[in-house]
Amino acid sequence: MPRPAFASGAVARPANRAKAVTAARGRPIRSIACVGEVMIELSPAGADTARVGVAGDTYNTAVYLRRALPGAVEVAYVTALGDEAMSARILDALGNEGLSDRLVERRRGAVPGLYAISLDQSGERSFTYWRSTSAARTLFTPPCRVDLAALDGFDLVYLSGISLAILPPDVRTRLAEWIDAYRARGGQIAFDSNYRPRLWPDAATAQAAMMALWQRTDVALPSLDDEEALFGAEGETAVRARLRSAGVAFGALKRGASGPRAVDDGGQGLAVTPVVDVVDTTAAGDSFNAGFLAAYAGGADLTAAMAAGHALSAEVIRHPGAILPKPA
């Protein structure tokens, strides 16, 4: 089965961790930027009570990446926030998780988004959002301190379909242009389409934006249900073929309880044991992405990266909310 070639590369790591290596197309992965929207989360804590947390798809991945990677690897979160109490709460959460906030834009008078989780009897979740005026929608929009060039120094940049959806069309265009130059310099893009229909004006716009990103992706982390929700019920073989036609050569197609499958021509699947004690599937895909990328950054091959992603996701869905309590 084809997989990225890895070459040795040095980075300071604890003695009990494997040495970092050069993954896929470029340099050793010493820094990762996760781009998108972080929100205030209300998760069920009783019949009429809610637990207040901080979460969001790429933020969830950033948190679990930071926990999984050695401290020598920088993990930064890139977003825009307001200047009020809930934004301060989010900044505190970033700091408590050890995430770099040096690329967090602050907007006077703005506020972060808010969402509430509802769960059915099997632990499957649905969401209600209040995010139409979120500060994150102004990310990379002038006047700004954090522009796209601020991402130049990172070895890997991770985005999702939600990251794209919240950006104005002109910023999405500039993002694609920046990615082309960034990859030409050896940088790598990881992408999860993570389709949320209500964030897009129509499906055609979302399809065009997603395919433009798949054409610029080095590490693909799609979910079968998202891809079929956007492009129709193609079946996993057709989904993988469409992604490969866009140039995707490495990554994993997430298939829920069926486990991940390689997106390449071999299409190797990972045998998994179903999780029987599911509590909350929030952040299942986000945590898979973190486990996968952490293993990939450490030099793991595709099978080992898929196994790491599945193991982390299986643990997360046994607990309520997107973020597990921080380990001691």
Residues acting as catalytic residues: 286
Helix residue spans in the chain (DSSP H): 57-68, 85-96, 161-165, 169-184, 203-214, 224-231, 236-245, 284-297, 302-316
CA neighbor of 219 nearest in space, from 140, 151, 305: 305
Q: Please state the φ and ψ torsions of residue 226, each to the nearest 5 degrees.
A: -65, -45
- Residue 268 CA to residue 290 CA, distance in Å, equals 20
Cα-to-chain-centroid distance, residue 227: 15
**H/E stretch holding 35:** strand 31-35
234 three-class SS: coil
- Residue 248 CA to residue 214 CA, distance in Å, equals 6
* Matching residue, tokens 């637990």: 51
- Residue 147 CA to residue 175 CA, distance in Å, equals 10
- Residue 245 CA to residue 47 CA, distance in Å, equals 48
- Residue 232 CA to residue 106 CA, distance in Å, equals 39
* The pair of three-digit structure tokens given for residue 196, joined into one six-digit string: 């949320």
- Residue 306 CA to residue 260 CA, distance in Å, equals 7
**Contact (CB, 8 A) for 72 and 97:** no
DSSP letter for each residue of 13-80: --TTSPPPEE-TTSSB--EEEEES--EEEEEE-SSS-EEEEEE-HHHHHHHHHHHHS-TTSEEEEEEE
87 three-class SS: helix
- Residue 23 CA to residue 108 CA, distance in Å, equals 40
- Helices 203-214, 169-184: inter-axial angle, 10-degree rounding: 10
